[in-house]
Amino acid sequence: MKQAKDGKSTARQVALMGLLFALAAVLSFIEGLLPVLPTLPPGVKLGLSNIVTMFALFFLGKGSGFTLAVLKALFVLFTRGPTAFCMSLAGGLLSVFVMLLLMQFPSKPHLTLISIFGAIFHNIGQLMISALVLHSTLAFGYLPVMVLSGVVMGFLTSLLLKVLKPYLVRMNHIIFNRNI
């Protein structure tokens, strides 16, 4: 996100981040209401709220991406507890960091590939916390399942971002280009 030059711009940036956080929280809540598909392994989720984090990272900048990852983790703390918070924070921050690294390549990879790597590393961050909580590296035995689910869910998340992008851009445009 560009640096604010006046109080109005700062207020608008805060408003946009608030709206994006609210959207991420609602998507996370909705995802929690969806029934678990019996064919999916335990712990595998679509990651709907990650769409908002990716939008923030890709179109508003790294500060916005990291901020939303932390805000989402705080939301998880208040709704699901400290262990889920640690898993969300580790997964979210590692995911944003890896996507940011991929975006630095001279021939920037396609958004879908960045999303897939983000999902995979989100899962790896969560497995790292699981290993700490369990005091065992056996948690990494689940790595093949989580990598495969990261590929599938990262692909689906990138498709959803492509569908929602015009609406998110419009929300950004409305906030920053209104004459108030």
- The 10s digit of each residue's pLDDT in 95-145 is 999 999 999 988 888 889 999 999 999 999 999 999 999 999 998 999 999
What is the residue range of 58's domain?
Answer: 7-177
Which pLDDT belongs to residue 8? 58
Residue 108: inside a domain, yes or no? yes
Is pLDDT above 60 for 180? no
Among 15-29, 63-77, 86-100, which stretch is predicted with the lowest mean pLDDT?
15-29
Is pLDDT above 60 for 22? yes
The residue ranking higher by pLDDT, 67 or 10, is 67
Burial (CB < 10 A; 0-12, 13-18, 19+), residue 125, is: buried
Q: What count of other Cβ atoms lies within 10 Å of the Cβ of residue 57?
A: 25
The CATH number of whichever domain residue 45 belongs to comes to 1.10.1760.20
**DSSP string spanning 53-67?**
HHHIIIII-HHHHHH
Burial (CB < 10 A; 0-12, 13-18, 19+), residue 91, is: buried
Which pLDDT belongs to residue 31? 84
Distances, alpha carbon 86 to alpha carbons 63, 89, 128, 157, in Å: 20, 5, 10, 22
Among 39-43, 59-63, 100-104, 162-166, which stretch is predicted with the lowest mean pLDDT?
39-43
Distances, alpha carbon 138 to alpha carbons 83, 90, 122, in Å: 18, 18, 18
23 CA to centre of own chain: 12
| DSSP code, position 36 | P
Average pLDDT of the segment spanning 171-179: 60
Residue 109: inside a domain, yes or no? yes
Residue 2: inside a domain, yes or no? no
Q: What count of other Cβ atoms lies within 10 Å of the Cβ of residue 173?
A: 10
Q: How far apart are CA 127 and CA 139, in angstroms?
A: 6
Residue 1: inside a domain, yes or no? no
pTM, rounded to two decimals: 0.85
140 CA to centre of own chain: 22
Residue 134: inside a domain, yes or no? yes
Q: How far apart are CA 97 and CA 118, in angstroms?
A: 8
Residue 56: inside a domain, yes or no? yes
Q: How far apart are CA 72 and CA 54, in angstroms?
A: 13
Q: Using alpha carbons only, what angle is made at residue 124 by residues 104 and 21, rounded to the nearest 5 degrees?
A: 70
Q: From 52, 46, 64, select the one nearest 23 (Cα to Cα).
A: 52
Which pLDDT belongs to residue 2? 47
Residue 162: inside a domain, yes or no? yes
Report the chain's mean pLDDT, rounded to a whole number: 86
Is pLDDT above 80 for 87? yes
Q: Write out the two tokens for 3.
A: 């640096």
Residue 65: inside a domain, yes or no? yes
How many domains does the structure of the chain reveal?
A: 1
